[in-house]
Chains A and B, each alone.
Chain A
């Protein structure tokens, strides 16, 4: 059987827990979990900033639930990671310097105006849907099990933001703000699919069913008909093999701990109380 066929024939969920992994695969899985968790965690933080100041009280409440969902997903992912590394979920979340965070560049940017928040949510939620669809078939049972549930919650987020994209796009002023926000965010959004260190190990073990480069193509292919329908520019082109590749240079580095200065400010604020009495119960 050739190397390429491996990904397709791995039966799903054959790895019951950390004890089924060798050290190198474990380390690679830890990188994957940290990336997934930090994406959700940091996005949840920015989104929770809208709580109390949303454009309308009803939307404020809806948006806050979504922010809480993301923090909840991050918490569950940190717990999976805790089972791997022995560090508690709260310590993972609060006891790291800003350079220790692994979220993609998209999530390191601040929330901006409503159009930027919506545009980021839409790019993130569609990318996440692609990622989750693949990872639901992960051979690592705890991850497949958790992400199956996460996916059911994320489906509603996507529905909500798909509606918002359309509402914004239906109006000249809304469309102007939306397209400006999308333009600004594309390079950083592509970082969601930057290959992870040790990714090949994860693919070989069936933990990550397909490499991130392939997932990026799937994501762009899913967006293409929607962006065409909405007459929004999609910075990607379809190759002769049918695969989509981006036409803008990605802004990378998030997975290595490089972030926008906005994230340093956020990190400072979010660890402010924790740092007052490190290790204490709160």
Chain B
């Protein structure tokens, strides 16, 4: 019964659409080769493309520290983590490619600033403390969202999220281990990780996005994602605020508290203007990171062109 509605080709367009969205609403899944309305396809593509872009750009802030990791184990773990992010970008671009947009076109749009990536990857990484905070808390915030995406109506995306979540759980352990080592370390190390948390807290609070009313969120209505932005933020706070506080770190938000009556976390209103500015490419590192990508993409264009048979290097030709 599950996929029958997707194949009834003798229906009129309107009935077919209605049957499709009824199938989605009932918890049904869609596969890459199934019929789907164009607007659903576009919406999934846009969502997955931004996710893929974020994995790709998310590589850069941490990559800078691969050469600087201070022990052999950290060096190995950080390289493996960044490698995972590259792998996730590949898995997600594959999902997006099968929806009809080529990887080269997606890269071109990303580098031209036409498509977006997550706010947190527009900020600088200043110290080794940042490496710990990113791997622990940014990845934790991401995994909360990604776990919910395992319930996505788009089957290939949901399955990819299962694999990604499994790998991300290692990152959180790696990050938490770094943070714990620093808080148990010298005063300078403790200060380093507290300073990192102070700088990253605001972007983390913005990371799940605006408090869009669920009824106005098309991604939610079509079950491309399964939880609203605010639900995800609340879930993250519920798990991680106690874990941050128990190890002696301070969260830089005097308003942050759990409201027993309302059964939700209260916090200082995030700077939504900053979020808008940052994700539209006006963050502190937006231009530099895109330019960095552009330079390296152009540097290796000849390899793709000659060896990988991709035709003229997409960017080099621009």
A binds B: yes
Number of interface residues of A (CB under 8 A): 45
Whether A282 contacts B186 in the complex (CB less than 8 A), given A68-B80, A90-B71, A266-B67, comes out as no
Tell me if B173 is interfacial: C-beta within 8 Å of chain A: no
What residues of A have a CB within 8 angstroms of the CB of B74 in the complex? Answer: 282
Tell me if A67 is interfacial: C-beta within 8 Å of chain B: yes
Alpha-carbon separation in the docked complex, A56 to B297 (Å): 9
What residues of A have a CB within 8 angstroms of the CB of B75 in the complex? Answer: 48, 71
What residues of A have a CB within 8 angstroms of the CB of B60 in the complex? Answer: 52
Closest to B81 in A: A51
A71 close to B79 (CB less than 8 A): yes
What residues of B have a CB within 8 angstroms of the CB of A274 in the complex? Answer: 70-71
What residues of B have a CB within 8 angstroms of the CB of A61 in the complex? Answer: 83, 86-87, 90
Alpha-carbon separation in the docked complex, A150 to B74 (Å): 21
Closest to B87 in A: A61
* Most chain A CB within a 10 A radius of its CB, from B74, B302, B303, B306: B303
What residues of B have a CB within 8 angstroms of the CB of A75 in the complex? Answer: 72, 76
Alpha-carbon separation in the docked complex, A75 to B74 (Å): 12
A53 close to B296 (CB less than 8 A): yes
A280 close to B71 (CB less than 8 A): no
User: Which A242-282 residues have C-beta < 8 A from chain B?
Assistant: 266, 269-270, 272-274, 276-277, 280-282
From A52, A74, A113, A277, contact of B86 by CB (8 A): A52
What residues of A have a CB within 8 angstroms of the CB of B188 in the complex? Answer: 276-277
In the complex, how many angstroms separate the beta carbon of B293 from the nearest chain A beta carbon?
8
Whether A57 contacts B189 in the complex (CB less than 8 A), given A49-B66, A52-B63, comes out as no
A57 close to B86 (CB less than 8 A): yes
Number of interface residues of B (CB under 8 A): 42
What residues of A have a CB within 8 angstroms of the CB of B67 in the complex? Answer: 45, 48-49, 266, 269-270
Alpha-carbon separation in the docked complex, A276 to B188 (Å): 9
Tell me if A89 is interfacial: C-beta within 8 Å of chain B: yes
A60 close to B306 (CB less than 8 A): no
Alpha-carbon separation in the docked complex, A45 to B68 (Å): 10
Contact with A along B183-207 (1 / 0, CB 8 A): 0111011000000000000000000
Alpha-carbon separation in the docked complex, A75 to B310 (Å): 38
Tell me if A114 is interfacial: C-beta within 8 Å of chain B: yes
B296 close to A65 (CB less than 8 A): no
In the complex, how many angstroms separate the beta carbon of A168 from the nearest chain B beta carbon?
7
Tell me if A167 is interfacial: C-beta within 8 Å of chain B: yes
Contact with B along A44-66 (1 / 0, CB 8 A): 01001101111111101100110
**Which 4 A-B residue pairs are closest in the complex by CB-CB distance?**
A55-B303, A55-B300, A57-B90, A64-B83
6 A-B residue pairs with CB within 8 Å: A48-B66, A52-B82, A57-B89, A89-B72, A173-B306, A272-B68
The chain A residues found within 8 Å of chain B, CB to CB, are 45, 48-49, 51-58, 60-61, 64-65, 67-68, 71-72, 74-75, 78, 89-90, 93-94, 113-114, 167-168, 171, 173-174, 177, 266, 269-270, 272-274, 276-277, 280-282
